[in-house]
Amino acid sequence: MRRSLIPAGALVAAMAGSLVLAPAASATGKHGDNGTVKIHDAKTGEELRKNEPKVCVFYLDAFGFDAGQKVNWHIEAWANNDQDKGTTVKSGLITLDADGHERTEDMTLPNGQYKLFWNWEGEKGSAKHKVFKTDCPPAETPGTETPGTPGTSETPGTETPGTETPGTPGTSETPGATPSATDSASAGATPSASASTDATGGLAETGSSAPVGIIAAVAVALAGAGSVLVMRRRKAQQH
C-alpha cells in the first residue's frame, strides 16, 4: 500500500509543475500578441514609447513584438475626412528586428481623422488599432507679396533719367552751344583795309589808294613839263 502512494504523489507533483510553467512558456513563446504600435511625429525619436494622436508628418513605431515577425498594416479614412469612412489611404509591410522593433518611413496625409490597423504574423487576437488625426498648417504661397512696394512707397525707376538738361539751370547759357553767325563773323573776320597801316606809319585811305597815287604822279609829271616849257620860252625871247 505504501509503494502505491509514492508513484501517485510523484504524478501529482509533476502535474502541478506543468501548470505553473505553462503560462511562463506561453509568455516567452514565439508569435505572441504582446507587442504595441505607436503613432509618432516625424521629429519624435523612435526609442520613445509614447503615442501622439495629432500629427502632421508622422511614422509608425512598433515595440515588444517577437523577433523577425512580419507586419501587414494599413490606414483607413475615418471621421471628419474628405474621403469615405473605411477607405484605405495607405498600406505597407515591414519585418521587425531581433528585438521585435521597427518603424516605417515618414509619411503625410490630408488633414482629417484616420484609423491604423496593425496585423502581424501569428497573431492570436485581433489587429491592433490606433485612431489619430493629421493637422498640418496651410502652406504659404510664395510670391503673394510684391517686394519693394510696401505701403505707398515710391516705385524705383519712376523718374526718367535725363529729363533735365545738364548745364541749363535758370537762364544760364547752355555749354557747348554753336556760336551765332554774327559772333563767327566777328571772331574770324579779316581786319579791314581802313585798319591797315601804310609805309609811312599813317593809316592808308580806304578803297582808293591806287587811283590817287596814279593821278598824283601824272600831275607831278605835267607840272615838270610845264616848267620846262616856260623856261624854253624865256630863253627864246632873250635871243
33-64 pLDDT, tens digit per residue, is 889 999 999 999 999 999 999 999 999 999 99
For residue 42, give the C-alpha cell.
Answer: 516625424
Average pLDDT, the chain: 72
Q: What whole-number distance in Å separates Cα of residue 121 and Cα of residue 204?
A: 137
Taking a C-beta distance cutoff of 8 angstroms, is the pair 112, 82 a contact? yes
Beta-strand (E) ranges in the chain? 36-41, 54-55, 58-63, 70-77, 88-95, 102-103, 112-120, 128-134
Beta carbons within 8 Å of 26's beta carbon, 6+ residues apart = 32
DSSP lists the bridge partners of residue 91 as 74
Three-class SS state of 215: helix
For residue 186, pLDDT beyond 60:
no
Secondary structure (DSSP) of 11-23? HHHHHHHHHHHHH
In this prediction, residue 101 has a pLDDT band, given cuts at 50, 70 and 90, of very high
How confident is the model at residue 224, as a pLDDT?
Answer: 75
How do residues 129-175 score in pLDDT, each as one tens digit? 999 999 999 987 666 555 555 555 455 555 555 555 555 444 444 45
What domains appear along the chain, each with residue ranges and CATH number? 36-134 (2.60.40.1930)
First to last CA, the chain: 236
For residue 1, pLDDT beyond 70:
no
Residue located via cell numbers 563767327: 184
For residue 74, pLDDT beyond 90:
yes
DSSP lists the bridge partners of residue 120 as 71
Q: What whole-number distance in Å separates Cα of residue 209 and Cα of residue 202?
A: 13
Query: Is the pLDDT higher at 67 or at 8?
Result: 67
Percent of the chain with pLDDT over 70: 53
